[in-house]
Structure 1
Amino acid sequence: MPKSDLPKDPDSNDLANARTAWAEDRTVLANERTFAGWMRTGMACVALALGLRAVFNDTEYPLLAKAIAELFILSGILIFWAAAINCRKTQTRMSEHDVETQSYKRMTLLATVLTFAAASTGVILWFL
């Protein structure tokens, strides 16, 4: 019997739709975990800047140490915003079904706060 002549199970379409919904929910949650990972990476850049500044505090080239620390601060800020933008792009392509996503406003607020904190850290490091 050809495939087109096989009887259709009415529940099979419902199961396929449910599986698709679950897959989208898993992707939404993975997107949030990825956002959190990017935030951690950005904060690690700021921590590395602090560590470099502490280690090379008494170097013969203090301006070089400060400049390199500032590069890590800037990298952290860029990572914060890349994470927020990429997360938003993924959220607009996905539909949540059984999970509730973090709002883009909350992610933007977090990126803004971390940017302010990183920039403040950079200013403090420059003047120490």
Structure 2
Amino acid sequence: MLANERTYAGWMRTGLASAGLGLGFNAIFRATEPTWLAKVVASVFIALSMFIFWSAWRQAAKIRGRLDSHKSSPLPKSRLGFMTGFFIFGSFSLGVVLWIL
């Protein structure tokens, strides 16, 4: 069960890295012409981060249902869902701000 939670955390870090890569890409290539091209590439990485967050939650929830906890207590499904939703919302907001500014 703890390995499942560590794997979930690892995928969340990967999603954050993807969002950061998109933000960094836009920051570095903001001055290039056409400007929309940098935004599109950055948006692809941000969308990829949202997909990673969602699929990490889906896999963690699926595996959690099959595990026997014995003496340890797993993270509640609602907390996994809240964290996932928070990261997806953050990535989505980043994409919106990227296109507005």
| TM-score with structure 1 setting the length | 0.77
**Is 1:61 matched with 2:34?**
yes
CA-CA distance at 1:98 after TM superposition: 1.5
1:52 — aligned with what?
Answer: 25
1:43 — aligned with what?
Answer: 16
Alignment of 1:10-89 (within 5 A): 28-89=1-62
Q: Which runs of 5+ in 1 are unaligned?
A: 1-27
Amino acid across the alignment from 1:123: V
Larger radius of gyration: 1
Alignment size in residue pairs: 101
Moved over 2 A (4+): none
Secondary structure, counterpart of 1:110 in structure 2: helix
1:118 — aligned with what?
Answer: 91
CA-CA distance at 1:72 after TM superposition: 0.6
Summarize deviations over 1:20-69 as a string: whole Å, max 9, x none: xxxxxxxx000000000010011111100110000001001211110010
Aligned-partner Cα distance in 1 for 2:34–2:4 = 42
| TM-score with structure 2 setting the length | 0.97
Summarize deviations over 1:81-110 as a string: whole Å, max 9, x none: 100000011011111011111111100000
Please give the root-mean-square deviation of Cα atoms over the aligned residues, in Å.
0.7
